[in-house]
A and B are shown apart, each in its own frame.
Chain A
Amino acid sequence: QSVLTQPPSASGTPGQRVTISCSGSSSNIGNNGVNWYQQLPGTAPKLLIYSNNQRPSGVPDRFSGSKSGTSASLAISGLQSEDEAGYYCEAWDDSLNNPVFGTGTNVIVL
């Protein structure tokens, strides 16, 4: 039931900037805030960005989020090896009346 579409993978070398997209519709991203989660290998997801562009305490400012229309983006600047993980967007869907997750993007540090 993934109604939010993400690219399966993204990659970059250390120090580079990587951007991940999350495409939705007017019933979810277009009308509601977007959250992003980071899932390191073998661990539970962790809230990384909330309400489009807000960072919880402790999240490095290398991570930033943005939203435009029915799409959102997560950017990782100054990519580090420890950023190799899965990243998921999430938003409330007004039509389904429940939260929906993106398909997920694996970030690979080359």
Chain B
Amino acid sequence: QLQLQESGPGLVKPSETLSLTCTVSGGSIGSSSDHWGWIRQPPGKGLEWIGSIFHGGSTLYNPSLKSRVTMSVDTSKNQFALKLTSVTAADAAAYYCARRRLVAVAGPVHAFDIWGQGTMVTVSS
């Protein structure tokens, strides 16, 4: 069964770069039918899509974060990564990685069907 696990520092200083890794186990990150995303959730607030990375390495980012976000994939390690530069207190959140898969051909419709447990990131000096 596919599982995702986020890892990275839980504390980042303001103006520095947040770096997180998502390790995929129980399956291959190289499947052409899947792509991978990052979603965050500030304490007590809703979900915000950060970006997605597709088979082959192409990316799509939330326009509101695009200037600060970089996503990459390492198929040899079955991992994908998130970098967010120039962080502020507004970037403090639980960060989730998730698989996005085609769930319905009619449409078509994709959904985040498998999620990591999440990792909390605090921004403080």
Mark A residues whose CB is within 8 Å of B: 1-2, 32-33, 35, 37, 43-47, 50-51, 54, 56, 88, 90, 92, 96-104
The contact sample of 15 A-B pairs, CB cut-off 8 A, is A1-B63, A43-B117, A44-B115, A44-B118, A46-B115, A50-B103, A50-B113, A51-B109, A54-B103, A56-B113, A98-B52, A98-B62, A99-B52, A99-B100, A100-B49
Interfacial residues of chain B within 26-70, with CB under 8 A of chain A in the complex: 37, 39, 46-49, 52, 60, 62-64
Q: Which residues does chain A contribute within 8 Å of B106, judged by CB atoms?
A: 33, 51
Interface centre among B46, B48, B104, B110 (most CB of A within 10 A): B46
Task: Assess whether A90 is in contact with B111, with CB atoms less than 8 Å apart.
Answer: yes
Q: Which residues does chain B contribute within 8 Å of A32, judged by CB atoms?
A: 107, 109
Q: How far is the CB of A26 from chain B (nearest CB, A)?
A: 15
- A108 to B39 alpha-carbon distance, docked (Å): 25
Task: Assess whether B63 is in contact with A96, with CB atoms less than 8 Å apart.
Answer: yes
Q: Which residues does chain A contribute within 8 Å of B60, judged by CB atoms?
A: 97-98
Task: Assess whether A99 is in contact with B49, with CB atoms less than 8 Å apart.
Answer: yes
A51 is contacted by which of B96, B103, B112, B118 (Cβ under 8 Å)? B103
A92 is contacted by which of B63, B110, B116, B117 (Cβ under 8 Å)? B110
With known contacts A1-B62, A43-B117, A50–B46 Cβ distance under 8 A: no
Task: Assess whether A35 is in contact with B109, with CB atoms less than 8 Å apart.
Answer: yes
Q: Which residues does chain A contribute within 8 Å of B37, judged by CB atoms?
A: 99
- A103 to B45 alpha-carbon distance, docked (Å): 8
Given contact pairs A45-B96, A45-B115, A101-B47, enumerate 7 new A-B contacts (beta carbons under 8 Å).
Answer: A1-B63, A33-B107, A35-B109, A51-B103, A54-B103, A98-B60, A104-B47
Residue-wise interface mask of B (91-125) relative to A, using a CB-CB cutoff of 8 A (1 in contact, 0 not): 00000100010011011011111011110000000
- A44 to B96 alpha-carbon distance, docked (Å): 8
- A33 to B111 alpha-carbon distance, docked (Å): 9
Task: Assess whether B113 is in contact with A47, with CB atoms less than 8 Å apart.
Answer: yes
Q: Which residues does chain A contribute within 8 Å of B109, judged by CB atoms?
A: 32-33, 35, 50-51, 92
Q: How far is the CB of B97 from chain A (nearest CB, A)?
A: 10
Task: Assess whether A37 is in contact with B104, with CB atoms less than 8 Å apart.
Answer: no
